[in-house]
A and B are shown apart, each in its own frame.
Chain A
Amino acid sequence: MDATQAGFTAFVRARSAALGRTALLLTGDRQLAEDLLQEALARTAARWEKVVAGGDPEPYVRRVLYTCAVDGWRRRRVREVFGGVADATALDGSEAVDRRVVLQAALARLTPRQRAVLVLRFYEDATEVQTAELLDCSVSTVKSQTRHALGRLRVLAPELTEAFGPPVPTEVP
């Protein structure tokens, strides 16, 4: 293994757990999440020298991850099979499980882009500007997507409405 590959391997070992969680939220299925992560890492490996020359490789990988999830990568399949996350969480018969199942079902009804916006804004804690840059869209699109996504979640999971409002986070100037 040469130094270049060793650098790549070290990066993957260090960051794959966090990246895997994001992939899982974007796809909703463990197997698909692994596929998505491998796709993102393979694309990164193909340009690894350039990527590391630009600094921290993680932003690039995350960008690829979101791009693949939103823009064409097995999009149909992702939408069809979203719903496997519950298996991953221990089914303890508690209220927490019910909550996960309801949220998961609601997320499954969103579009990949709406899901990506929610993950970026509420899981990654990205700003609207950062989200817009990552998804290659305008800030107003991020706002409207967020608004629509939360609106749909309120309809699809009324028992979790408390978590979705009040509502749309606003950009702090």
Chain B
Amino acid sequence: MSLTDLLDDLVRSQPAPDPALAAAAWREGRRRRRTARVRVLAVAAAVAGLLVVVLPGAVVSPVAPFAGGVATAVVGHPERIGRQWWVRDLPDRPGPVAALLQAVQEQRTSDEPDGWYAVRADGHRWRLPEVSHRTDLWPALSDDGRLLGRLATPAGPYVVHNLVTGERTSFEGIVDPGGRGDRAGLLGSQSPAHFSPDGRMLWLPSALGRTMLLDVAIGSWRGLPEGLGKPAGWAGQDRLVWLHGGGDGSLGSAVPLRARTTDATGATVADVELGGTSGVFASQWAGSVSKGGGEVAVTTTTAFSAAPLGVTRYALGDGSPRSAFVPVDANQPCSTTWSAGALVVPVQPPDSAVVVQDVVDGAPVTVTVAAPQIGARCLVWAADALDGPARGGGLVGTSEAGWTWWWREVLLAGVALVVAGVLLVVRRRRPPVV
């Protein structure tokens, strides 16, 4: 007797399976199919949700809240400005932004181009189009983050863009300093611009040490007298503060630095000597005026590009120093910014992530960090943004650890591995149909 016969004999009297087997198997099979479909849909929804959450720039910025043209000020500032997989051009109505970021990669570490970017309160970035690549032409941002001033094209005009309503006010005759035009209308490069606290006026640097004043409400501009100094900011709605005097950076100079306050026509209202500033050098980025107009902060160096930088606060009334702070690795040339009561100083640690520190109480606090891959150099803040809460830091806050800039990719890789593993197991357990 062969093994085949033995096996036949073993099951010969096996009764037929229960007739209800077909119906039971069908019900169970269909139930599994429904469950599997629901699972697939759930996983797809979860993956899509995950992608939307973790992919930087994957979500179109919300426009709807501002669609009605209601003036809205920026609320809060980004705790982190991270890498983005897709950086879009600034839309017409993105809503108020928290800052403008200047990106210049000394050693190219990503494909993101150099240029200026608008940064939302949660750290999302948009590229400023057209002359964005001209990192030496500084755009301007109003205190409430609603108004963006910049040169539209090298041949002009200069445009003030309302980020809430999408309206643009053009100023003809203001052109790239390398372009042709009225000498008075040549925009100054490598110099910051200052909106008035209410956003109605914009104080622009002009070429050859001049400045000009733009009336945003009526769309006209005029030049201000020469020789008043370097713009430091607004001390109220119609008071301009200039820094003048000081040394030229060479050793041995004994001329003190002075703060001049003028009205909107350039007529001097006050001019005080800033205490202890004999021979110090102050660049065009050196000054910033506090929100109430009572103080001016000055970033100085005793010998140009040689001695350590120092940031000192002075009373505008009498020029007396209030406090001094010497930041480590100060990020020059970037302007300081005042929030309601604090002075925010940009610094740049060795790993090249920009860190902005709030030094109001003498103890520096990290306000914002930017990914080294961006090549962030300077931030032009909407001052009101710094009064609001820090946003977008997630679990990592202001950590500068390298992995914190890649957590999305790490998370996605982990999810992809898990999904691939599950698919592999399912595939191995399920026989092919054919």
Contacts and interface: CB of A to CB of B under 8 A. Distances in A.
Interface of B: 1-19, 21-26, 28-30, 32-33, 36, 429-431, 433-434
B6 to A, nearest CB: 5
Interface of A: 5, 8-9, 12-13, 16-17, 19-21, 24-25, 30, 34, 37-38, 41-48, 50-51, 53-55, 60, 63-64, 67, 71-72, 85, 88-90, 96, 99-100, 103-104, 118-119, 122-123, 125, 150, 153, 160, 162-164
Given A71-B429, A99-B6, A34 B30 contact: no
A38 B14 contact: no
Contacts of B23: 9
A25 B7 contact: yes
A49 B5 CA distance: 37
Q: Chain A CB within 10 Å — which of B4, B25, B429, B430 has the most?
A: B25
20 contacts: A8-B26, A16-B21, A17-B14, A20-B17, A30-B14, A37-B17, A41-B22, A42-B25, A43-B29, A43-B32, A44-B25, A44-B29, A47-B29, A50-B433, A53-B433, A54-B434, A60-B431, A64-B431, A67-B431, A103-B7
A45 B29 contact: yes
Contacts of A60: 431, 433
Contacts of A119: 7
B9 A21 contact: no
Decide if the interface of chain B is mainly helix, strand, loop or mixed: helix
A34 B26 CA distance: 15
A38 B6 CA distance: 26
Contact of B14 (A21, A50, A160): A21
Q: Dominant SS at the A interface? A: helix
B179 to A, nearest CB: 68
Contacts of A99: 1, 6, 9
B433 A51 contact: yes
Contacts of A24: 11, 14
Given A8-B25, A99-B1, A103-B6, 17 more contacts: A5-B26, A13-B19, A16-B17, A17-B17, A25-B10, A34-B17, A42-B25, A42-B29, A46-B30, A46-B36, A47-B33, A54-B433, A60-B431, A63-B431, A118-B3, A123-B4, A163-B5
A17 B15 CA distance: 7
Contacts of B13: 88-90
